[in-house]
Amino acid sequence: MAQPRNTLALMLLAVASVGLAQEKPRSGEPAHPPWKVQAGYRVLDLSRVPIVIDEPGRYAIDRDWNVGLDPVTGPGTLIRITADNVSVDLRGFAITFDNPGEGVGIDGDAVSIRNGALLGDRDVDGVRSAGAETTIDNMHIVGAVAVRFLGPRAQVRNSTLGGPFGAILKGDSVVAESNVLRGPLEVGSGAHVSGNEIGGGFDEVVVIRGNRSILADNIVSFRNPEAPAAFSVQGDGNVLRDNTVLVSGLNSSHTVFSVEGSANVLDGNITVPQTAERGGVGMSFAQDGNFHGDNRLGGVAEAIRDNGTTQTAWGGTVAF
């Protein structure tokens, strides 16, 4: 027997209502994600920060942005990346921000940020990553800490990093190549640091807190009268080779290479005086068992201070 017309109409209305309910966002979610799909990228809309990227893929921006979080909501992260396998290509544009917190916070693995600028103020981290295999390439990043990497196998290349506390690369096996660091650099174990210009900041210019790192062919500017050392080596088995240190007006409290660990190798480094004054110590050792030779130390008053320790020297480490 045919159903009454009014009963059928009510059934159709109920089905349509269920369909509409499924299309609506869940409570608390935006009506649509904070990006649009364009030329194979998800182009971010930074008028809707904070943004969480929780899906792998390619992301980009298509204009310069000057953004920050509402000061009422307090500190935060503009862009948080929780997914693995994410690429963010800024395509030559800049993001300027002043929120206390972070510009980009990374918790996923295999995340890359390329080809643009992240310009924060003195109260922020430019990029903070706890993930593995983070890559920074062809970037200009400014913040109190420009980059803070805690995960292993990070890579920073072809970038300019600025800030009073510089770049903190604590994760194992990081690579930093062909960068300009307008601030200090801190690395952990197994790092490979080469071809960089490094200088500035409040403390030691380069700090090696771990073991078995290689620092080669870098140019380090040691001109801050408050900094006690250009290189502070606090671990074991590190290699410092063919680095050039620009020194200016060193005094008795300054040491160019301060070595507290053991089995470290200092080979072929040179200090180049920028003024006629001489002062400080070229190399100072706190433990036995390091190795050095062929280091040419200009602008220092004392080439080597062994502090009662025993080192292996193959000759050629001299002041001039």
Q: Does a structural domain hold residue 11?
A: no
Q: Does a structural domain hold residue 258?
A: yes
Mean pLDDT of the chain: 88
Within a 10 A sphere around the Cβ of 313, how many other Cβ atoms? 16
Q: Does a structural domain hold residue 24?
A: no
Q: Does a structural domain hold residue 1?
A: no
pLDDT in tens, 65-112: 998 766 545 557 999 999 999 999 999 999 998 877 899 999 999 999
Share of the chain above pLDDT 70, in %: 85
Q: Does a structural domain hold residue 19?
A: no
How many domains would you assign to the chain? 1
Q: Does a structural domain hold residue 23?
A: no
Buried b (16+ CB within 10 A) or exposed e, 268-304: bbebebeeeebebbbbbbbbeebebebbbbbbbbbbb
Mean pLDDT lowest among 42-46, 49-53, 74-78, 242-246 = 74-78
Burial class, 156, CB count within 10 angstroms (exposed 0-12 / middle 13-18 / buried 19+): buried
pLDDT in tens, 210-246: 999 999 999 999 976 668 899 999 999 999 999 999 9
pLDDT in tens, 105-132: 999 999 999 999 999 987 788 999 999 9
Q: Does a structural domain hold residue 21?
A: no
Q: Does a structural domain hold residue 276?
A: yes
Domain span at residue 121 reads 34-319
pLDDT score of 75: 59
pLDDT score of 251: 87
Rounded average pLDDT over 279-302: 96
